[in-house]
Structure formats: structure tokens, C-alpha cells
């Protein structure tokens, strides 16, 4: 297996060209909401395809685009007509981190597998298949003006870089009443290597009271301690405990990366968020794209952050 830390491998990926996978790769995992098995295949795609989800059971394609997001309550869900695919955010985060631009994601169900509730399995699959450049320059979405959205005291904001900095900076803080979570903050500069070591393994989490409410509503039927951290005030219900002592804010940051990659290009700018979630992340992208003075699509705002390692 090639490694994200293998320098000769990384050297092939420095030129800022569009990327796809070297070969298809499949996996089966449980869907969080249905509790049923989902088969997912990541397939190399032609340059300029973008990331496209393909419901092979329906024969319908759903492009990974912010303006096709139709539900954000428990995950980020995109749809075309009645065809939907949910829980796209963890795969999208891994694709953003590695800088994959073109890919067909086949699924035979209305959601992606949840795996362990983090992006680790997706990153492992991408890494195992291998990433190649296949022509055309990857664009960046350069933020030119600050855009901010708010909701009930929470906010999400994208700001332009200062001093000619490049790449995607994310500063996030969260605050929960549950004492096991409390207040946490994390600052991250997106790169494939740092994503792999600091963010990819952070799992989604939920409060014990919410689990019971969801079950009663027939949702999260596939949810278990194997794919989420469950918190009961000061207690972590998972016998293995946490993977990082601030795993919660790291996972929320993972969600930001995935949700914002629905912009359709790597972001060059700074994200600042407080208690943000899928709904607010999507609202932010819609606000950015509402006014063309807020951004430009460019091929010169990409730094090397999207290379996989410092070669
Ligand atoms: Zn998540």
C-alpha cells in the first residue's frame, strides 16, 4: 500500500493538477440511519467531472454541490429530485484533505457507510487506491470579502487571507453543557498529512438522551458505540474512551472541511466558527456564492497545502 507519508508518492502530486484515484476501490459498511449494509465504490473519473455521487440502485447521479444540500439535521444530505444520499461529509472531508477533484462515488442506498463515525476508513480507502494527477489545473475558491452567517448565537464566517497567505485555515470553538465536552477550541491549517494525523480519526458524537429520542423516531438505527462517541454529561459511554481529549471539536472541524468542500473547489481563505454545524456550514457557502464579489475561482491561490507531505 502506498502511504501518504511516502515522499516519492507525494512528489508526484505537487504540480496543482486535478486529481482522481488511480484505481477503483469498494467497501461495505452500515448506514447510520437505516442500519442496513451499504456498498460503496470510489471510481476514478475524467478531469472536470467533479465529485459525483451515483445511486446505482436508481441510476441517478447527484453532484457533490452545496446548492443540492436539502437536509442538514443529522448529517449533510444532497439530493436530485427524490434521489438522495446522506452522510456525505466525512468522505468529502477526506477528499478535500487529499485534494481529489474528480471522482464517482457509487452507493446502492440513500446514505454512505458510517464506518467508525470518523473519516479514517475513507482516507484509508483513498490511500489504498492511490491518487493520481490527470490534467487540468485545480481551481481554488479564493475568498475576497468576509461573509458571516449566524443562528441562535452560533456563527460561521469565511474571511480573506491577509498578507498573501494561501490555503485553508480553520479556527473552530464549541460549547456544550455536557461536562465531558464543555468548551473546546482548535485551529487547523488544511494539509493531507496533518488531516491524517490530527483530524481524520475524530469520531462523530451524540448525547445519550438524543440517542433514545432518535431511536424512537426510527432514526439512527445503525448507530452504536462502534460508530459514535456517546456522552452522558460527564461520562463517555464508550468503553475505549476518547481518541483525543478534544476529539469533539476535532470532529466538528472535520465536518466543516467536508461541508465546505461542497463548494466544488479547494478554499483559499480563513474559516472562523463557533458552535457551527451542517446547517450553518451550508448557509455560509450559499451566502458566499450569492454575491460574485465575495470570491473568485482562480488557479493561482493554491498553495502547496494540498500536497500530501513536505517533499
Ligand atoms: Zn460528522
pLDDT by position in tens, the chain (length 311): 344 444 333 333 445 789 999 999 999 999 988 889 999 999 999 999 999 999 999 999 999 999 999 999 989 999 999 999 999 999 999 999 999 999 999 999 999 999 999 999 999 999 999 999 988 888 889 999 999 999 999 999 999 999 888 889 999 999 999 999 999 999 999 988 999 999 999 999 999 988 888 888 888 888 889 999 999 999 999 999 999 999 999 999 999 999 999 999 999 999 999 999 999 999 999 999 999 999 998 876 555 444 443 33
CA 148 / ligand 1 centre spacing (Å): 22
Write the CB contacts of 168 (distance below 8 Å, at least 6 apart in sequence).
Answer: 189, 190, 257, 266, 267, 268, 269, 270, 271, 305
What residues are neighbours of ligand 1 (ion), with CB under 5 Å?
204, 255
**Hey, is 278 helix, strand or coil?**
helix
Are 281 and 255 a contacting pair, CB within 8 Å?
yes
CA 87 / ligand 1 centre spacing (Å): 8
Pinpoint the alpha helices (H) of 26-117.
89-98
CA 11 / ligand 1 centre spacing (Å): 31
**Cβ–Cβ contacts within 10 Å for residue 233, how many?**
13
| CATH code, residues 7-306 | 3.30.1700.10
CA 114 / ligand 1 centre spacing (Å): 9
Is 278 known to be catalytic?
Answer: yes
What are the start-end ranges of the E strands in 224-279?
Answer: 229-232, 235-236, 266-274
Cα(238)–Cα(254) distance, integer angstroms: 21
Write the CB contacts of 83 (distance below 8 Å, at least 6 apart in sequence).
Answer: 55, 58, 60, 62
CA 12 / ligand 1 centre spacing (Å): 30
What is the model's pTM? 0.92
- The full set of domain ranges for the chain reads 7-306
Are 48 and 264 a contacting pair, CB within 8 Å?
no
Amino acid at each position: 500500500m502506498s502511504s501518504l507519508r511516502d515522499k516519492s508518492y507525494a512528489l508526484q502530486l505537487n504540480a496543482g493538477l486535478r486529481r482522481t484515484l488511480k484505481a477503483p476501490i469498494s467497501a461495505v459498511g452500515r448506514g447510520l440511519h437505516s442500519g442496513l449494509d451499504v456498498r460503496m465504490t470510489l471510481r476514478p473519473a475524467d478531469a472536470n467531472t467533479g465529485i459525483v455521487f451515483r445511486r446505482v440502485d436508481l441510476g441517478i447521479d447527484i453532484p457533490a454541490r452545496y446548492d443540492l444540500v436539502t437536509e442538514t439535521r443529522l448529517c449533510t444530505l444532497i439530493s436530485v429530485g427524490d434521489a438522495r444520499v446522506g452522510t456525505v461529509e466525512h468522505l468529502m472531508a477526506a477528499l478535500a484533505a487529499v485534494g481529489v477533484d474528480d471522482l464517482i462515488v457509487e452507493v446502492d442506498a440513500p446514505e454512505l457507510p458510517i464506518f467508525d463515525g470518523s473519516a479514517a476508513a475513507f482516507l484509508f480507502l483513498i490511500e489504498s487506491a492511490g491518487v493520481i494527477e490527470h490534467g487540468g489545473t485545480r481551481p481554488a475558491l479564493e475568498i475576497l470579502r468576509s461573509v458571516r452567517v449566524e443562528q441562535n448565537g452560533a456563527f460561521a464566517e469565511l474571511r480573506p487571507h491577509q498578507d498573501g497567505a494561501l490555503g485553508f485555515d480553520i479556527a473552530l470553538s464549541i460549547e456544550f453543557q455536557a461536562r465531558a465536552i464543555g468548551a473546546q477550541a482548535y485551529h487547523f491549517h488544511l494539509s493531507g498529512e496533518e488531516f491524517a494525523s490530527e483530524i481524520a480519526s475524530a469520531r462523530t458524537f451524540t448525547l445519550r438522551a438524543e440517542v433514545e429520542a432518535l431511536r424512537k423516531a426510527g432514526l439512527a438505527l445503525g448507530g452504536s458505540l462502534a460508530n459514535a462517541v456517546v456522552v452522558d454529561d460527564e461520562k463517555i459511554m464508550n468503553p475505549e474512551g476518547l481518541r483525543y481529549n478534544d476529539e469533539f471539536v476535532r470532529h466538528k472541524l472535520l465536518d466543516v472541511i467536508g461541508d465546505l468542500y461542497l463548494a466544488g473547489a479547494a478554499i483559499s481563505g480563513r474559516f472562523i466558527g463557533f458552535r457551527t454545524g451542517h446547517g450553518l456550514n451550508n448557509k455560509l457557502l450559499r451566502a458566499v456564492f450569492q454575491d460574485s464579489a465575495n470570491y473568485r475561482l482562480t488557479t493561482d491561490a493554491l498553495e502547496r497545502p494540498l500536497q500530501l507531505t513536505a517533499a
